Structure formats: C-alpha cells, structure tokens
C-alpha cells in the first residue's frame, strides 16, 4: 500500500480542464507583458529591425538585460518574438499588435489599478476606485483616431459651413485638436483638460509644433471652464466621453445644468456629444466579438468609477430637457466597430 486512498485519484480529464481554466491567468500575464513591451519602447526597438542582441537592446533602453530576456522568453512562447543565441527578432504577430496599442494603454495602463482594487470596491459603502487619468485620456484619444474622430468629422460635416472655431471640453492629449486642425486649415481650436499630466504634455507638444498659433489649451474641468471662460463665438463644442463623468459625479440634474450653461454661454453654437451606449445587460449584443474583447472590460470598470453610461433614449431626453435640439445622430464606421455601441449626437443650442 502506498498510503494514497483510491478516493483521491485524479479525475479523468483533469489536465484538459486545468488548461482551459487557467486561460484567464495566461491572458492576464500576456496583457501586462504586451503593455510594458510597447510602453517602454521595447516593441518599437524591435519592429522593423533585424535580429539584435537582447543585451544591446536592454542597454539602449536602460533596462535590466536578464529581466528583459525573461519577458522576451515569455513572449516567445506566446509566438510574438523569436530568440536565437541571445538575439531577438519580432514576429508578424507582434507587428499586428501595433494598431491595438491604444486599447492596452487605456485599459491596462489606465485601469489596471481599478481592476486590481475591485475586491475592495465591491464592499458596501466603498467609494469610487482610482485610475490613471493621464493613461486613460491618452489611450482614449488614440483610440478616437479610429472611431470618435471620424464620427466627429461626420457630424461636423453636417453644419453647412466649415467651422472656424471649436472648443474641445476634455481634450486629453489634444489629438482631437490636431486632427481637426489638419482637416480645417483655418480652424482655431481650444482644448480644455483637467488632468495635470495630460495638459502638461499637450502644452509641450503643441508649443513645439507648427500648430502653436492655432491651438489654445486650458487646464480646467469642463464645468469650471464654461462658468468662467471669456471665449466666445465658437462654431462647435465637442463633449466626448465627458457627460458620463458629469452624470456619474453630479447626477442627471448636474448634466442638464451643465448643458444649459454651455448653451447659455454659446447660444449660436452646435455641440457634438460622443458617448458609449450601455449594452452590458443585452446578452445578444454582448455576444459580438468586439463587445466581448473591448466593451465588456470597458463596461466593468465604469461600475467602479464615477462614470455612468446610458443609452440613446436617455441622452435624447436629457438633451431635450436641457433645451437643445437634436440635429443628427450617428455611430461608427462598421469596418472599424460594427457593434453600434458608440453614439454621436449633433445638437443645436437654439
């Protein structure tokens, strides 16, 4: 007798079930590894380059070579890089990841601490969980290049005249402003951003560029800016992913009051609102591949931060209550995002 009871025998199929049930842990480690690979410039140091020494790559980036090798060995097993005789080269799978980097910057760089603290956040009476606002803003702005910026351009194209002055309330890293200035050569763009890091970086980037005379930046919340600004005569104001913040922090009446103040300060303007429809409870809609890959984790963090997502009917009623007229409603290009979850509204102040 070996002292092991037959009752403790490993059940059939255990290893297969273990492999299946460990996939979330594998994904967790992989998501963070890829995030750091791009965030620290390691990916850029490899992409487009021939095989190179890991030690030399670590030296150029001021990284620990042994730990860098460990990270790269992990990614080799996942099929992103190839290592031979201390040299590493990027594989096509890594190159394909480049365009998805903004989603990693927002959800991993911006919300990692939120996901990590969800256990405490689930306790009754706990407050909103923290996030890295600069990373959220930067990642969101880069994502917007694919969805929100084209959607905004579409809505602005319905004004009937080229806008000469636009105010972006919550401009993040000012990517919106730069894109709009390239689209409209005579445009003056005003950016308002509360996050200190995002504002400071945008100020440096704009100040060193050719758009310095066309873009003005303010560090302020959207509400404080509207209450105190001396800016006038804007053709349009952009309020992208900001009303969800105001709604979550100040409630419905706070959002209505804010929009009324915008309309009072800029009565001859149009407003472009970009928001995300809350479809988390729609099982059929959430079976969409992009809904599972992106919106599901995006919705999750919104329940733990002071951000509230709503659907189109809610927003249309709120806009009407604020005295705004709905001119048009649109969503993203289905070649980019076919869920239809992202909402774009063009409103007239009077």
pLDDT 10s digits, 68-103: 999 999 999 999 999 999 999 999 999 999 999 999
Please state the domain count of the chain. Answer: 2
The token pair at 246 is: 């105001």
Task: Please check whether residues 57 and 202 belong to one and the same domain.
Answer: no
Within the chain, strands assigned E span: 52-53, 81-84, 87-90, 165-169, 188-193, 215-219, 236-240, 270-276, 325-330, 342-348
231-253 mean pLDDT = 95
161-184 mean pLDDT = 90
Task: Please check whether residues 332 and 199 belong to one and the same domain.
Answer: yes
Which domain CATH number covers 65?
1.10.10.10
CA distance 280 to 299: 7
Task: Please check whether residues 175 and 271 belong to one and the same domain.
Answer: yes
Is residue 105 in some structural domain? no
Task: Please check whether residues 341 and 214 belong to one and the same domain.
Answer: yes
259-287 mean pLDDT = 97
Task: Please check whether residues 148 and 92 belong to one and the same domain.
Answer: no
Task: Please check whether residues 168 and 78 belong to one and the same domain.
Answer: no
Name the region of 85 (left: φ>0; alpha: ψ -120 to 50; beta: rest). Answer: left
Task: Please check whether residues 264 and 318 belong to one and the same domain.
Answer: yes
Is residue 9 in some structural domain? no
Task: Please check whether residues 181 and 328 belong to one and the same domain.
Answer: yes
Residue 228, pLDDT score: 94
User: Does residue 4 surpass a pLDDT of 60?
Assistant: no
If pLDDT is split at 50, 70 and 90, which confidence band does 1 have? very low
CA angle, 214 as apex, 213 and 215 as ends, to 5°? Answer: 100
Is residue 127 in some structural domain? no
Cβ contact 250:308 at 8 Å: no
Hey, how many other C-beta atoms are within 10 angstroms of the C-beta on 280? 18
Which domain CATH number covers 214?
3.40.50.150
Name the region of 343 (left: φ>0; alpha: ψ -120 to 50; beta: rest). Answer: beta
User: Does residue 201 surpass a pLDDT of 70?
Assistant: yes
pLDDT over 90 percentage in the chain: 83
Task: Please check whether residues 171 and 311 belong to one and the same domain.
Answer: yes
If pLDDT is split at 50, 70 and 90, which confidence band does 335 have? very high
Cβ contact 95:105 at 8 Å: no
User: Does residue 6 surpass a pLDDT of 70?
Assistant: no
Is residue 106 in some structural domain? no
Task: Please check whether residues 235 and 325 belong to one and the same domain.
Answer: yes
Output the average pLDDT for the chain.
94
Is residue 261 in some structural domain? yes
Task: Please check whether residues 286 and 334 belong to one and the same domain.
Answer: yes
Which of 281 and 211 is assigned the larger pLDDT?
A: 281
Residue 204, pLDDT score: 74
Is residue 124 in some structural domain? no
If pLDDT is split at 50, 70 and 90, which confidence band does 7 have? low
Task: Please check whether residues 172 and 225 belong to one and the same domain.
Answer: yes
Q: Find the Cα–Cα–Cα–Cα dihedral 7, 10, 12, 17, rounded to 10°.
A: 130
pTM for the whole structure: 0.91
Residue 2, pLDDT score: 53
Task: Find where tokens 């297969």 sit.
Answer: 16
CA distance 242 to 223: 10
Is residue 71 in some structural domain? yes
Is residue 104 in some structural domain? no
Domain, as residue range, for 341: 132-348
């Amino acid at each position: 007798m070996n002292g092991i009871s037959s009752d403790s025998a490993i059940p059939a199929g255990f290893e297969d079930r273990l492999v299946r049930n460990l996939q979330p842990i594998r994904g967790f480690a992989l998501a963070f590894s890829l995030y750091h690979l791009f965030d620290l410039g390691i990916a850029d140091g490899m992409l487009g380059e021939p095989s190179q020494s890991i030690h030399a790559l670590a030296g150029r980036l001021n990284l620990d070579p042994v730990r860098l090798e460990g990270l790269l060995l992990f990614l080799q097993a996942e099929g992103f890089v190839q290592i031979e005789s201390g040299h590493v080269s990027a594989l096509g799978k890594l190159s394909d990841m480049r365009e998805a980097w903004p989603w990693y910057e927002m959800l991993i760089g911006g919300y990692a601490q939120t996901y990590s603290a969800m256990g405490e956040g689930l306790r009754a009476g706990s407050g909103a969980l923290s996030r890295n606002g600069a990373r959220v803003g930067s990642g969101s702005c880069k994502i917007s290049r694919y969805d929100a910026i084209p959607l905004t351009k579409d809505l602005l194209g319905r004004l009937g005249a080229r806008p000469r002055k636009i105010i972006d309330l919550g401009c993040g890293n000012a990517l919106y402003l730069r894109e709009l200035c390239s689209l409209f050569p005579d445009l003056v763009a005003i950016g308002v951003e509360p996050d200190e890091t995002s504002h400071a970086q945008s100020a440096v980037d704009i100040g060193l560029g050719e758009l310095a005379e066309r873009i003005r930046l303010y560090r302020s919340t959207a509400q404080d800016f509207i209450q105190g600004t001396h800016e006038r005569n804007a053709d349009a104001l952009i309020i992208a992913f900001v009303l969800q913040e105001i709604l979550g922090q100040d409630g419905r009446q706070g959002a209505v009051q804010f929009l009324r103040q915008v309309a009072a300060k800029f009565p001859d303007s149009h407003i472009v609102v970009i928001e995300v429809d809350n479809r988390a409870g729609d099982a059929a809609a959430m079976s969409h591949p992009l809904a599972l890959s992106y919106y599901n984790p995006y919705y999750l963090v919104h329940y733990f931060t002071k951000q509230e997502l709503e659907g189109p009917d809610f927003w249309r009623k709120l806009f009407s209550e604020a005295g705004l007229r709905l001119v048009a409603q649109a969503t993203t290009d289905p070649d980019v995002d076919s869920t239809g979850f992202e909402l774009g509204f063009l409103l007239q102040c009077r």
